[in-house]
Amino acid sequence: MVKNTSSSSSSSSIGALSVSVLRVGFLASAVYFFTLGTLMNHVPAPVAISSAATVVDAPGVVAPSILRSGSKPVAVLSKGLIDGAASSSSSSSSSSSSSGHDMKEIAIELYSQAGCTGDVMRYTPANDEERCDRCVDMCQRTFEGSGAKMHDSVKSFRVIGPKTVDGREWWVSADQLCSGVYAYPKESLVRKKVKPSGKCTELGGDSANLFSFNNLPTVLSSENLVSFHIAYSAESSQYFGYQAYANYYAFLHSEQPEQTGYTRLLTSSEMDDLEARIPTFQAPRIQYSNRYTPINKPDVIDKWMQSSQSPTEEVVVIIDPDNWLLRPLAKYASMVKRGQALAQKAFFYKHPLVKELYQLVCQRNCGYTPDDAAVPYFVHRDDLKQIAPLWRELTMKIKDMTWKDPS
């Protein structure tokens, strides 16, 4: 998934997405204040990398390859996961061996009483946690029925699903400690290997606060239901050259589904020689970018969406060039539908000034409270086609306001 050590934001909050993309740098952009969630409310319903790269629009600057000459990254061909929302549920079980299962068939049910009775919460491997992946953290959770805290309160649990998934046996472990920032030095597992059987597992006097799904495939073979295309905007320079190579290398090695698209959206007067190494769409800059270069992002996205090279995949994932993909993004793309985007929470999430600024420039749905979002953005292709020109327009409107009145 994605680890972003700078800002994070969400039109629909992610969580474990923070362990999918690693940010290796920082880019400034005033358009963060006009986030994807806000803009959505204006919308109706493998290659060898070898030689050094010359650049355009920056004479005399060279962006050398960060990879060995003649190296050949190979994409891992695999499929992705579907998210299953946590919900209250009665118990059910399946012990058959099979492949291609819906993620919702694989689950753990946590009970407030012994004997798998009392309040129950059901979670799938797609449950999103900020500090661990494929896990369920009891810290700060409550049982929906009674509202009681789940920390140190789970008395029994049930592991549900087929014995094998895509030919692999899997199990659930229970840890006494919640997930945290640091690795714990001592052994704290209270149940090490509970396999799916549907039977009730008692915790007795043990406290279990972190339940983890273990040995499942990185991605499931049957659940790549939504095609998606990853893209980022950049210019042709030494600064962006290193990022472009690193970003593409990460894409090829992060086990994205075979059909996933990838494009560097280049703002430049002409194509540079990275075109032969990295999939690229090129468009000329607008005059406004001479005053404010971040306008290139919505501008080149709009030109891309209007072009004959526009993405045919259902979902577009907008990242920054200094993001490093770590794991498949398919399960997040599968959450997106027309009119419903997904993103990280921005560093200014829920700041009151964002809504105030929105009120100054909104054109419709002005009573809406903006979703303060940042990359990665997951958005339906049809929505992005309408969002991009509005994104550009509102960005210029805000900048014009600040130039006229810096206060």
The mean per-residue pLDDT over the stretch 160-167 comes to 91
Other C-beta atoms closer than 10 Å to the C-beta of 193 total 12
More confident of the two residues 165 and 266: 266
Min mean pLDDT across 9-23, 163-177, 193-207 is at: 9-23
pTM: 0.65
**Model confidence band, residue 223 (pLDDT cutoffs 50, 70, 90):** low
pLDDT tens, residue by residue, 67-90? 222 222 222 222 222 222 222 223
Mean pLDDT in residue range 375-401:
94
Q: What is the pLDDT of residues 308-323, one digit of tens each?
A: 999 999 999 999 999 9
Of residues 17 and 277, more confidence is placed in 277
Q: What is the pLDDT of residue 380?
A: 97
Span 120-128, mean pLDDT? 86
Instruction: Provide mean pLDDT across the span 337-353.
Output: 90
Residue linked to tokens 């094998």: 164
Q: Which H/E stretch holds residue 323?
A: strand 323-325
- Measured CA to CA, the distance from residue 107 to residue 86 in angstroms comes to 9
Among 77-86, 103-112, 125-134, the least confident range: 77-86
pLDDT surpasses 50 at 32: no
Residue 310: strand, helix, or coil = coil
The pLDDT, as a whole number, for residue 252 is 96
Least Cα distance to 341 among 228, 256, 234, 255 occurs for 228
Q: How far apart are CA 296 and CA 291, in angstroms?
A: 11
What per-residue confidence (pLDDT) applies to 121? Answer: 94
